[in-house]
């Protein structure tokens, strides 16, 4: 791979990265998720629901 290929790949990846960041920001604005709720979205296991 020569320098121009590496430069093109770098430009393409940075462009993709910028687009993903924009998409993530748009999703966050459309569906804001409070930080405390992120932890609450993990699945509940049977050991959590068993009574003592």
Q: Which sequence spans correspond to the domains of the chain?
A: 3-49
pTM for the full predicted model: 0.48
Tens place of pLDDT per residue across the chain (52 aa): 678 999 999 999 999 999 999 999 999 888 876 666 555 566 666 665 665 5
Length of the chain: 52
| 25, 40, 41, 45, 52 from 49: Cα distances, Å | 35, 14, 15, 7, 10
| 5, 33, 36 from 41: Cα distances, Å | 42, 10, 9
């Amino acid at each position: 791979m020569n320098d121009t290929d590496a430069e093109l790949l770098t430009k393409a990846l940075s462009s993709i990265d910028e687009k993903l960041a924009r998409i993530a920001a748009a999703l966050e604005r459309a569906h804001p998720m409070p930080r405390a709720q992120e932890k609450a979205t993990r699945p509940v296991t049977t050991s959590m629901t068993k009574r003592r």
